[in-house]
């Protein structure tokens, strides 16, 4: 699936140029070009990456651009700069694109920023919670999300969130892989899957 | 504007041995296209000509393997030879199924030998399922996609299939391989044979990288090339 990119750059020429870089590849999809940023739009578009010109903010709040985006979206935040930028400001971003960057350089920076982002939620403990173990057992037994939701009286959405967390913590994505994990960790018995 | 040539300094005039030395994955590319080791000082163009391979197409595949993030230019796609791309993809399938996967299977079998019978069964079955899925995926390409491409090449019309459908159906065979990697890396029982576990992981990593490049050649070289031919008919 292509990564959704939101461009928030007031210069039309620069924004169009950036869009051009992404459009030919298929790897990315520019979901919108905005001249200013609103929280509501950020939330509804759910981009994977936001390319933003810090100049849309006044000088005092340029140090907290990333934080402002993070309030509404977990997108990677990449600065687009037309001039020099002090190091302090630069550090908050997942990447910095300059006016003179070539298209391949832009692509590389965006890819790197997206990659960093996927590694972020590591801070929590990697141990599966009791509820996650219960759900893992159901998944390994071949139960559907709906069935698991009914069994524990929770919403399907919650089941999906648990499953996402199980995959993140174990590094195992497929049902077959999770079944092996459950069996090797003695969470289920051979007989219950055959 | 030919910036890619500037950034990826490989050319038909360079020595074959120097080209292959750039990245060891290129050894596989050369082997699958039937180029014979013992190159001496012959150039890429000379070796390719001798074996009837288009040097530009060979270099295109080499760039994909040697330079991560490389994207071929329109000119490179226009210049490439579809026969050679097909040959390469076909030979890769054969190599995966006849060499890499069996080697992985042997190592995996040895790795789990010290384990309890129940554990052996679980791990082995996961691997067997993966192997089957991979075989099915390749069989679809060999049975449906490649013959269609051949037909387009030979200007036989009447095929109902289009390359766009292939793009949609291109399932992701890499997920299970990644699971296998994590299972071996993180969760196999302690009594597993460690030397063999290393081998299994080594094969997984090679196959993972190779499949990644292979998919790129299918999606970003084969598909657009065939798509253009469809449109020009």
B18 vs A71, more confident: B18
Whether chain A has a CB inside 8 Å of the CB on B75: the answer is no
Residues A176 and A112 in one domain: no
User: Kindly report the CA angle at A189 between A188 and A193, in degrees rounded to 5?
Assistant: 90
Contacts with A107 from chain B: Cβ below 8 Å: 69, 71
| Of the listed ranges A37-46, A115-124, B187-196, B200-209, the one predicted with least confidence | A115-124
Residues A104 and A163 in one domain: no
pLDDT, mean of residues A130-145: 94
B162 vs B33, more confident: B33
Residues A17 and A86 in one domain: yes
pLDDT value, residue A52: 93
Name the domain count of chain A: 2
Residues A64 and A83 in one domain: yes
Which ipTM score applies to this complex? 0.82
Q: How far apart are CA B137 and CA B92, in angstroms?
A: 13
Whether chain A has a CB inside 8 Å of the CB on B187: the answer is yes
Closest CA to A111 of A22, A15, A16: A22
Contacts of residue A98, Cβ cutoff 8 Å, sequence gap at least 6: A80, A81
Q: How far apart are CA B189 and CA B115, in angstroms?
A: 7
Residue B9: count other Cβ atoms within 10 Å of its Cβ: 8
pLDDT score of A59 more than 90 = no
By Cβ distance, the residue of B119, B121, B176 closest to A174 is B176
Q: How far apart are CA A89 and CA A109, in angstroms?
A: 17
Residues A21 and A98 in one domain: yes
Q: Which of A89, A119, A149 is the last residue of a domain?
A: A119
pLDDT, mean of residues A71-83: 87
Closest chain A residue to the Cα of B68, Cα to Cα: A108
Q: Which of A57, A88, A119 is the last residue of a domain?
A: A119
> Are A180 and B182 within 8 A, CB to CB?
no
Q: How far apart are CA A34 and CA A48, in angstroms?
A: 15
Residues A18 and A60 in one domain: yes
Angle between helices B82-95 and B223-232 (to 10 degrees): 140
Given pLDDT bands bounded at 50, 70 and 90, which one contains residue B2? very low
Q: Are B140 and B166 in contact (CB under 8 A)?
A: no
pLDDT value, residue A83: 79
Backbone phi and psi for residue B145, each to the nearest 5 degrees, phi listed first:
-75, -50
Residues A24 and A112 in one domain: yes
The enclosing domain of A172 has a CATH number of: 1.10.10.10
Q: Give the residues across from A33 on adjacent strands.
A: A7
pLDDT score of B161 more than 90 = no
> Are B182 and A185 within 8 A, CB to CB?
no
Q: For residue range B164-182, what is the model confidence (pLDDT) as tens digits?
A: 777 666 666 788 999 999 9
- pTM for the predicted model, two decimal places: 0.67
DSSP character for B43?
Answer: B
Alpha helices (H) in chain B, listed in sequence order: 3-7, 16-21, 26-32, 44-51, 55-66, 74-79, 82-95, 101-112, 117-140, 146-153, 163-169, 174-182, 194-217, 223-232
The enclosing domain of A57 has a CATH number of: 3.40.50.2300
> Are B176 and A104 within 8 A, CB to CB?
no
pLDDT score of B4 more than 50 = no
pLDDT score of A122 more than 60 = no
Q: How far apart are CA B69 and CA B11, in angstroms?
A: 19
Residues A168 and A109 in one domain: no
Given pLDDT bands bounded at 50, 70 and 90, which one contains residue A66? confident
Structural domain that includes position A7:
3-119
Residues A79 and A169 in one domain: no
CA distances from B25 to B7, B81, B91, B211, B214 (A): 19, 21, 15, 12, 12
Mean pLDDT of chain B: 90
Q: Which of A67, A86, A119 is the last residue of a domain?
A: A119
Q: For residue range A146-188, what is the model confidence (pLDDT) as tens digits?
A: 999 999 989 999 999 999 999 999 999 999 999 999 999 999 8
Whether chain A has a CB inside 8 Å of the CB on B192: the answer is no
In a domain, A161, yes or no: yes
Residues A79 and A142 in one domain: no
* Positive or negative: CA dihedral B53, B56, B57, B59: positive
pLDDT, mean of residues A125-140: 90
Helix (H, G, I), strand (E, B) or coil at A29: strand
Contacts of residue B41, Cβ cutoff 8 Å, sequence gap at least 6: B15, B17
pLDDT score of A37 more than 80 = yes
Whether chain A has a CB inside 8 Å of the CB on B121: the answer is yes
Residue A120: count other Cβ atoms within 10 Å of its Cβ: 10
In a domain, A125, yes or no: no
Contacts with A173 from chain B: Cβ below 8 Å: 175, 178-179
pLDDT, mean of residues A119-130: 66
Q: How far apart are CA A76 and CA A117, in angstroms?
A: 6
How many Å separate Cα B137 from the centre of its chain?
A: 13
pLDDT value, residue B153: 86
Q: What percent of chain B has pLDDT over 90?
A: 78
Q: How far apart are CA B121 and CA B110, in angstroms?
A: 13
In a domain, A175, yes or no: yes
Q: How far apart are CA A173 and CA A177, in angstroms?
A: 7
Residues A174 and A101 in one domain: no
pLDDT, mean of residues B117-140: 94
A135 vs A58, more confident: A135
pLDDT, mean of residues A131-148: 94
Q: For residue range A141-153, what is the model confidence (pLDDT) as tens digits?
A: 999 999 999 999 8
By Cβ distance, the residue of B3, B69, B187 closest to A184 is B187
pLDDT score of A102 more than 80 = yes
């Amino acid at each position: 699936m292509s990564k959704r990119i939101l461009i928030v750059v007031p210069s039309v020429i620069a924004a169009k140029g950036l869009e051009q870089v992404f459009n030919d590849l298929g790897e990315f999809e520019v979901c919108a070009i905005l001249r200013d940023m609103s929280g509501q739009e950020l939330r509804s578009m759910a981009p994977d990456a936001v390319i933003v010109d810090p100049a849309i903010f006044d000088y005092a709040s340029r140090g907290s651009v990333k934080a402002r985006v993070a309030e509404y979206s977990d997108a990677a935040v990449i600065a687009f700069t037309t001039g020099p930028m002090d190091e302090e400001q630069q550090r908050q971003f997942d990447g910095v694109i300059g006016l003179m960057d070539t298209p391949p350089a832009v692509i590389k920076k965006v890819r790197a920023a997206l990659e960093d982002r996927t590694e972020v939620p590591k801070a929590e403990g990697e141990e599966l919670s009791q509820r996650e173990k219960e759900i893992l057992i159901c998944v390994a037994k071949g139960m559907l999300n709906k069935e698991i939701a009914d069994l524990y009286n929770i919403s399907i959405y919650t089941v999906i969130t648990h499953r996402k967390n199980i995959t993140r913590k174990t590094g195992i994505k497929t049902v077959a892989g999770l079944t092996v994990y459950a069996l090797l960790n003695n969470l289920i018995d051979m007989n219950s899957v055959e | 504007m030919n910036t890619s040539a500037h950034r990826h300094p490989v050319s038909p005039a360079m020595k074959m041995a120097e080209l292959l030395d750039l990245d060891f994955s290129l050894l596989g590319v050369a082997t699958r296209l039937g180029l014979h080791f013992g190159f001496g000082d012959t150039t890429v163009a000379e070796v390719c000509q001798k074996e009837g391979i288009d040097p530009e197409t060979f270099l295109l595949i080499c760039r994909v393997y040697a330079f991560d993030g490389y994207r071929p230019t329109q000119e490179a796609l226009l210049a490439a030879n579809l026969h050679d791309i097909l040959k390469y993809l076909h030979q890769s399938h054969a190599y995966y199924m006849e060499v890499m996967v069996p080697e992985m299977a042997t190592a995996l079998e040895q790795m789990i030998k010290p384990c309890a019978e129940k554990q052996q069964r679980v791990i082995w079955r996961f691997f067997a399922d993966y192997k089957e899925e991979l075989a099915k995926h390749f069989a679809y390409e060999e049975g449906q996609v490649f013959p269609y491409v051949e037909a387009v090449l030979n200007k036989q019309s009447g095929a109902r299939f289009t390359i766009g459908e292939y793009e949609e159906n291109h399932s992701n065979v890499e997920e299970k391989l990644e699971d296998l990697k994590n299972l071996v890396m993180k969760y196999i029982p302690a009594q597993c044979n460690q030397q063999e576990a290393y081998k299994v992981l080594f094969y997984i990593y090679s196959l993972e990288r190779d499949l990644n490049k292979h998919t790129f050649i299918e999606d970003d070289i084969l598909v657009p090339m065939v798509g253009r031919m469809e449109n020009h008919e």
